[in-house]
Structure 1
Amino acid sequence: KYQRAATCLTKDREALLAFYDFPADHWDHLRTSNPIESVFVTVRHRTVRTKGALSQKTARLMVYKLVQAAAKGWRRLKGANQLPMVTEGVKFTDGVIDAKNRAA
């Protein structure tokens, strides 16, 4: 009945399921872009209120300090101990280390 939709899903299957190639602890963080958005909202809100910066140097300093202040409210990454494995290319299946990689 929905041939075009089925074709699109079949074609993009690998990209759609790439989510499961990461540790299960990281899934909450992968599902949201809120940390990125919240930082830029803070910066945009404050820079508009200041009516422009005096120079590029002061603008950079202000943005740096705003991001630094916003970072205090960020929550810690779950599964941070698994980040080195992810960057080394260790394979995960359904959020769990593959049996082949576990012995290594």
Structure 2
Amino acid sequence: MEGAFDRFVTVYAAKYPKATETLKKDRESLLAFYDFPAEHWQHLRTTNAIESTFATVRHRTTRTRNCVSRPTFLGLAFKLIEEAEKAWRRVKRSSCCWKALPSGMANR
């Protein structure tokens, strides 16, 4: 992966210098994904569960006119998120996930 990253930066550095500088500066963060075992990538790669949950809450709260106070909004958002949670996929082999985390995080 590191070789592909370097080739990409080399090819596009002349045309997009600011973008490639940003990529080089954030290289470690961008490639941290590959520090995890390949079987975990499917779950790390997607944010769809988060995005679709927030889209549901956003859609319902903009369509609901009686949701004007903070307590009613929080109650509505909680129930919508609670319902959305029922449709989330379980992480395959989730017992293995804790082994992949850095040692300090596994104890939280």
TM-score, scaled to structure 2? 0.66
Unaligned runs of 5+ in 1: 91-104
- Offset, 1:54: 4.2
Structure 1 vs Structure 2: percent identity of aligned residues?
49
Determine if the alignment matches structure 1 residue 2 to structure 2 residue 16.
no
Counting matched residue pairs gives 90
Choose from 8, 15, 23 the match for 2:37.
23
Counterpart secondary structure, 1:2? helix
Q: Counterpart amino acid of 1:30?
A: L
Determine if the alignment matches structure 1 residue 57 to structure 2 residue 36.
no
Alpha-carbon distance between aligned partners in 1 of 2:77 and 2:31, rounded to the nearest angstrom = 36
TM-score, scaled to structure 1? 0.68
Alpha-carbon distance between aligned partners in 2 of 1:11 and 1:55, rounded to the nearest angstrom = 44
Alpha-carbon distance between aligned partners in 2 of 1:44 and 1:10, rounded to the nearest angstrom = 36
Counterpart of 2:54 in structure 1 is: 40
* RCO higher in structure (CA 8 A, sep ≥6): 1
- Offset, 1:11: 5.2
Counterpart secondary structure, 2:32? helix
Counterpart of 2:3 in structure 1 is: none
Alpha-carbon distance between aligned partners in 2 of 1:51 and 1:58, rounded to the nearest angstrom = 11
- Offset, 1:52: 4.5
- Offset, 1:64: 0.2
Q: Which of the pair is proportionally richer in helix?
A: 2
Counterpart of 1:79 in structure 2 is: 93
Q: Is the 8 A contact 2:43 2:91 kept in 1?
A: yes
CA RMSD of aligned residues (A): 2.7
CA offsets 1:56-84 (integer angstroms, 9 cap, x no match):
11111110000000111110112311232
Alpha-carbon distance between aligned partners in 1 of 2:24 and 2:36, rounded to the nearest angstrom = 21
